């Protein structure tokens, strides 16, 4: 799963973070990741499993959200992945 997240974010160098929509994706993904991780840890889930659960849940929500949009934007998925990666060092320690 971590490899998938890294792969999704390799294009983040081209991600235009000045766009409000991309910043919202990053922020929402960071919040979802944190909430799912905290809930899993509260329920005595191992740290690694909790992060994988949080990352998978966040990516699934992001993809489902994009599928319901009028136009599918890969950069929105990249922004979701970036939100997850930003939270990794924060929630892991």
pTM above threshold 0.85: no
Neighbours of 79 (CB within 10 A): 27
Mean pLDDT value across residues 71-82: 88
The reported pLDDT for the residue numbered 29 is 95
The reported pLDDT for the residue numbered 28 is 95
Sequence spans of domains, the chain: 19-92
Q: Which two tokens stand for residue 79?
A: 């922004």
Mean pLDDT value across residues 65-81: 88
Nearest to 52 by CA among 93, 9, 91: 91
């Amino acid at each position: 799963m971590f490899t998938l997240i890294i792969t999704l974010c390799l294009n983040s160098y081209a991600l235009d973070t000045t766009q409000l929509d991309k910043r919202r994706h990053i922020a929402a993904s960071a919040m979802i990741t944190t909430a799912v991780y905290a809930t899993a840890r509260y329920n005595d889930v191992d740290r690694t499993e909790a992060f994988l659960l949080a990352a998978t849940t966040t990516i699934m929500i992001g993809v489902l959200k994009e599928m319901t949009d009028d136009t599918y934007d890969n950069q929105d998925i990249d922004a979701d992945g970036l939100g997850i990666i930003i939270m990794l060092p924060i929630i892991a320690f």
